[in-house]
Amino acid sequence: MSLNRADIENIARLARLELTETEIPVYVDSLSRIFAFVGELDRAPTAGISPMAHPLPGLAQRLRPDEVAESDHRELYQRNAPQVEAGLYVVPKVIE
Amino acid sequence: MSLPAAPAATVAELVRGLAAKQFSSVELTRAYLARVAAAQPELNAFITVTGEAALAAAARADADRAAGRGGPLTGVPLAHKDIFCTEGVLTTCGSKMLANFVSPYDATVVAGLRQAGTVMLGKLNMDEFAMGSSNETSYFGPVRNPWDTARVPGGSSGGSAAAVAARIAPAATATDTGGSIRQPAALCGVTGIKPTYGRVSRYGMIAFASSLDQGGLITVSAEDAALLLGPMSGFDPRDSTSVDSPVPDYTATLTASLEGLTIGLVKEFFDDGLDAECGARIREAIAVLEKQGAKVREVSCPNLPLSVPTYYVVAPAECSSNLARFDGVRFGHRCESPKNLNDLYSRSRGEGFGAEVKRRIMTGTYVLSAGYYDAYYLKAQRVRQLISADFARAFGECDLLLGPTSPTPAFRIGDKCDDPITMYLNDIYTIGANLAGLPGMSLPCGFVGGLPVGLQLIGPHFSEARMLNAAHRYQMETDWHLRVPAAFA
């Protein structure tokens, strides 16, 4: 299967990735190759086979009680934030 | 280049030497830090060296031992792959995105090994977000293979494998999503173990593909792996896929007899893609195991050749979801003067991620997008079921599976960068175990043209003890794992 420039631009938009002019043709080529390769799966006999949901047979995702387990770490966590003010994360204005 | 001498060949020797007071942890830590510094320009195995903290931890370990506290591992130095969060220490995951991220907490693996008394030397280089098979995708530059510095160490745990191979760290943590422990272990001539999915907590291990990721070890020997695996294993309420089952003492059964063990040779592993000389080394290793009493039979996993295409749907899909958290808002790289929120997201991500990570995010975004989900993602999860069923059938006929780890020895830096598919096929023999959640190991089993070759063992779920036993018995009869590249001896 072959992808074109518009496909790559659309995927990049969905993924919130800004690509440069030089990157676009590289991904047109490599993603086309990847999907041609992945196309091999079409010949697998999967009729009646259920999709695998967990790598260990018989195990499902465990749930925990909805209880407070940790104290507030806001100050500590915000040390890694690019921009904070009064304990809030600062981003460009969303609503005028 | 000449390096200060390594204090011992294995972690087991360090454990004995510390107990016998042949050396202190501070002496050991100094010696390894000196080797790290001397080898760093050649290998680039470390991203961060935490020398001061290591010496302080070593001094505490010595004080603990003097006071009769601590366990066998107290004072043993090791290094962590930079995918594991370490409190107060830079944790980059090999990416520009996290180039200034100082983790506010420890991964469970890191905490467990610290609790056991080990001393962290620093953080090891890796492929960016563990996406790569050659360590060439790291933002911090490629790691070089100690056996030939023009060649790759494998990946993504390339720093872990190179550091242990060069004996600049006695042991290293690593992670394996599609072969990232076993393939670099093979290419660097060291021992690697990827435990069963759920055996080792993923808490604080930066996520790539959550249904495949598993933490493990790269060590000199299977005995060393057995010593270190216990403290990093076990149930963790903070990882929802952590399995609540007891952790055996992996050292207790290392020397058990291999009489009665049936080893299955996976027919599909001995395909046209396997280098003939590598295949010969594997067959020599099989003969050693047979001499130990193991029985060998051929088994078939007919769907296994589909494991690479299956993986390149499932892993990118999970990656695109996991890496959505990097938005330039809460942590990580942020672009200059964003025009609006969308510009902030798109440019921060476009600038912060490298080429391979972007390729995987886009592949995953596409297979999960409207109209393609059934054709790609659900189809791949169905094939994954077939592959798992093949393994389950094979384990009805044998106790462990055996094959090569990698189709070729280490390749040259730059050789496979042009075509992603060529690079992806390096993991053709390792990906199956991840898809089925099975434990796997790679063991050094000889050389081809001066480069190490790895033998792979795959076991049923939670058979780590049996696998380590077979590996240790093999290493009692061979010394491939004790060979050290001349430049780093």
The DSSP letter of residue B294 is -
Catalytic residue status for B2: no
Asked if residue A69 belongs to a domain, the reply is no
Rounded to whole angstroms, the Cα distance separating B281 from B219 reads 21
Q: What's the CA gap between A31 and B102, in Å, rounded? A: 34
Q: Is-cis flag, bond preceding A71, omega within 30?
A: no
pLDDT tens profile B89-101? 999 999 999 999 9
**Which of B218, B454, B91, B392 is CA-nearest to residue A52?**
B392
pLDDT (tens digit per residue) in B167-225: 999 999 999 999 999 999 999 999 999 999 999 999 999 999 999 999 999 999 999 99
C-alpha atoms less than 13 angstroms from C-alpha of B50 in its C-beta half-sphere: 22
pLDDT at B447: 98
Average pLDDT over residues B236-259: 96
Domain housing A29: 5-43
Q: Using a CB-CB distance cutoff of 8 angstroms, which residues of chain B are in contact with residue A79?
A: 102, 104
**Domain spans of chain B, in order of start:** 11-256+461-488
User: Is residue A80 in a domain?
Assistant: no
Q: Do B118 and B77 meet the contact criterion of CB atoms below 8 Å apart?
A: yes
Q: B363 to chain A nearest CA, in Å?
A: 7
CA B141 to chain A, closest CA, distance in angstroms equals 20
List the structure tokens of A27: 């991904």
Compare CB distances from A12 to B241, B324, B362 and report the shortest one's residue: B362
For residue B193, which of B166, B135, B232, B167 has the smallest C-alpha distance? B232
CATH number for the domain harbouring residue A11: 1.10.20
Query: Which residues does chain A have within 8 Å of residue B437's beta carbon, measured at their own beta carbons?
Result: 55-56
Q: Is residue A66 part of a domain?
A: no
ipTM of the complex: 0.96
What own/partner pairs with CB < 8 Å and gap ≥ 24 does B369-372 have? B369/A11, B369/A14
pLDDT higher than threshold 70 for residue B365: yes
Token pair of B213 as six digits: 């990721």
From residue B1, alpha-carbon distances to A3, B49, B144, B169, B450 in Å are: 49, 20, 15, 17, 19
What Cα–Cα distance (Å) separates residue A33 from each residue in A1, A26, B24? Answer: 8, 11, 55
Query: Which has more confidence, B329 or A2?
Result: B329
Residue B1: pLDDT over 70: no
B436 contacts in chain A (CB < 8 Å): 55
Say which residue the tokens 């290419």 belong to.
B187
Q: What is the pLDDT of residue A67?
A: 92
pLDDT tens sequence across A18-74: 999 999 999 999 999 999 999 999 999 999 999 998 889 877 778 888 999 889 999
Give the per-residue pLDDT at B370: 87
Q: Return the residue in A10, A29, A37, A41 with the most chain B beta carbons within 10 A, the one to mutate for interface testing.
A: A41
Contact criterion met (CB below 8 Å) for B97 and B353: yes
Is B180 assigned a catalytic role? yes
What total of structural domains would you count in chain A? 1
Minimum-distance CB partner of A80 among B101, B303, B349: B101
The residues pairing with B200 across neighbouring beta strands, listed in sequence order, are: B233
- Judge whether B381 and A51 are in contact, CB under 8 Å: yes
Q: Is the pLDDT of residue A96 over 80?
A: no
* pLDDT reported for residue B201: 98
Q: What is the pLDDT of residue B212?
A: 98
Q: What is the mean pLDDT of residues B443-452?
A: 98
Residue B316 has pLDDT above 90, yes or no: yes
Residue A19 belongs to some domain of the structure:
yes
Asked if residue A31 belongs to a domain, the reply is: yes
- Taking only the tens place, the pLDDT of each residue in B34-74 is 999 999 999 999 999 999 999 999 999 999 999 999 999 99
| Average pLDDT over every residue of B464-468 | 98
Q: Return the C-alpha torsion angle A85, A86, A92, A95, nearest 10.
A: -170
Which CATH homologous superfamily contains domain B11-256+461-488? Amidase signature (AS) domain (3.90.1300.10)
Residue B204 forms beta bridges with which residues?
Answer: none
Of B197, B320, B329, the CB nearest to A15: B320
Residue B388 sits at the chain A interface (C-beta within 8 Å): yes
Among B24, B95, B103, B180, the one annotated catalytic: B180
Which whole number is the average pLDDT over B318-336? Answer: 97
Question: In angstroms, rounded to a whole number, what is the distance separating the alpha carbons of residues B439 and B55?
Answer: 34
Out of B133, B134, B138, B156, which one is annotated catalytic? B156
Residue B474 has pLDDT above 70, yes or no: yes
Bridge partners of B90, per DSSP, are B102
Mean pLDDT of chain B: 97
Chain B nearest C-alpha distance from A45 (Å): 8
pLDDT tens for B147-161 read 999 999 999 999 999
Q: A26 lies in a domain? A: yes
More confident residue, B236 or A59: B236
